[in-house]
Amino acid sequence: MNFIILTLIFSTIRGDDHSSISFLARKLVTNRSENVKVDKFPDDFIFGVGTSAYQSEGAWNVSNKGESIWDKMTHEQPSTVADGTNADVAANSYYLYKTDVDLVKQLGANSYRISLSWPRILPTGFDNYVNEDGIRYYNDLIDEMLKKNITPFVTIFHWDLPLDLEDLGGWTNPSIVDWFVDYARVVFNAFGAKVKYWTTFNEPMFYCMYGYQGILAPRKNWSGIADYLCGHNALLAHAKTYRLYSDHFRKTQKGKISLNLALFWTVPENPNDQEEVDAADYMFEFRNEWFLHPIYSKDGDYSKIMKDRIANYSSIQGLFRSRLPAFKRHEIELIKNSADFLSINYYSVVTVRKFKNFDIKETISYDADVGTRHTPGAPNNASFETENNECDVKNCQPWGLSKIIKRLTQKYSIPMIMIAENGYADEGQLEDMDRAKYFYYHLKEILKLIKEGINIQGYYAWTLFDVFEWDKGHTFKLGLYSVNYTDPERARTPRKWSPKLLKDIYTTKTIPSSFLSFVNENKNI
């Protein structure tokens, strides 16, 4: 038995003073911690970085690629993007994919998250014409990763819907469920032997919600109706794709499949107003569980809170049936447990304000159904949050990620978790200490959760380099590498701090003892 333990026992029996016992107890904890690498990630932990097809590839009309809804919107309505730009060339990754994979390797990452362009593979959206140039490109990209021992993490759909399908109603047309499954079958046949991690969709809540609020493509103003049709069809498409993979590909390809969900911890703008406190909690359930509850809950289906609110408001608005479509019993069973892991995209806490004094009878919209709206900006570190407030840069609330994960793992049976996106936006300066600090504290929080027994198996920093950030264009910089958008070659330049920090953590699998110690060790490099 440890000498200190024996001493503690005898000291307690003898009635020694508490300060001596306390000292020995602290010494015991110190000795134990010296024998355990408390800041080390598991040996098999996945450290990655990500991009997406439309945001990075460019080559928008080469090699038989079809047109997407984002191509059409940015060409015909450039004012919908903050700086009037588009992704016709973007970061030119279609031609620079080898350079990009080299950058992933230089970071010490062992995985690279990409997405596939549906119109690059199926130019019309339908599987009767498969574009072999598109298949070749992604095979070359995946092979380049494997050659450098980098694990591909592939998202099948990241917002760039083929234009022909949008002309047929896009995500509001129930037939898109089968169209997507047909596309996924082509993808699994072409790349499945090489890919072990798949996600069907990236952030369906965003493209359904904002796409039908007139903000993102396809920019239709049908909020409160089309967004629910979109989400309903996306859930069915995801589930049918999951079953397709399980029935026909899993045995030989041995991969895992899920979907990426953008999750938020919601806090009230006024924490002293109980109505706003309740509204923030309601928004957490309504928004986050739109896609979570049908997949991960024991009973399946949409949550009661979502079904009851929309049905009630629909009745007040004079509608015979709820604006939220109803699943059939077999569809509920189809969707339940249709994920091998929970894939989380997290950036920051969301501050919300309750809607007050509005006429629900005259207001049909998603935001009205939720009953709250975002207030500008997120709290830096909310005054009512005292834990883990070391990260003093904007929008850096790693405690929000912890709260989300703990709440969801208590409520649902979740096999394992991947953090598929986590990143920090600035104005594009090379001196990016704030981004490095953001990554440091989020990875520190993730390691803390792992040590508490939560099964998190991977982390992906967003993004590898500056990309086209949707309606923000090129005004929003999240890259570990800066891209020179005035250079036709789109040269990449490493930012000063974040690549060093991630390389340090990714290669050693440990967190530096403090952020200051990391800075001091690297300030002269």
Q: 203 an active-site residue?
A: yes
DSSP 287: I
Distance from C-alpha of 167 to C-alpha of 212, rounded to nearest angstrom: 15
Tell me which residue of 258, 151, 246 sits closest to 202, measured CA to CA.
258
Question: Phi and psi dihedrals of 379, rounded to 5?
Answer: -65, 140
What residues form DSSP beta bridges with 157?
201
SS3 track for 354-420: ECCCCCHHHCCCHHHHHCEEECCCCCCCCCCCCCCCCCCCCCCCHHHHHHHHHHHHHHCCCCCEEEE
Residue of 166, 203, 276, 469 marked active site:
203
Report DSSP letters for 85-141, one per residue.
Answer: --SSSTT-HHHHHHHHHHHHHHTT-SEEEEE--HHHHSTTSSTTS--HHHHHHHHHH
Tell me which residue of 180, 146, 141 sits closest to 162, measured CA to CA.
180
Residue of 276, 421, 445, 469 marked active site:
421
Strands 151-157 and 197-202: parallel
Residue 251 burial class via C-beta count within 10 angstroms: exposed 0-12, middle 13-18, buried 19 and up:
exposed
Question: Six-digit token pair at 327?
Answer: 């699943």
Q: Which helix (H) or strand (E) holds 160?
A: none
Q: 489 an active-site residue?
A: no
Question: Phi and psi dihedrals of 352, rounded to 5?
Answer: -130, 155
Question: Six-digit token pair at 256?
Answer: 């895992």
Scanning the structure block, which residue is given the tokens 């530096």?
A: 512
Indicate if the alpha-carbon torsion angle 496, 499, 505, 508 is positive or negative: negative
Torsion of CA 171, 174, 178, 183, to 10 degrees: -10
Catalytic residue positions, numbered: 203, 421
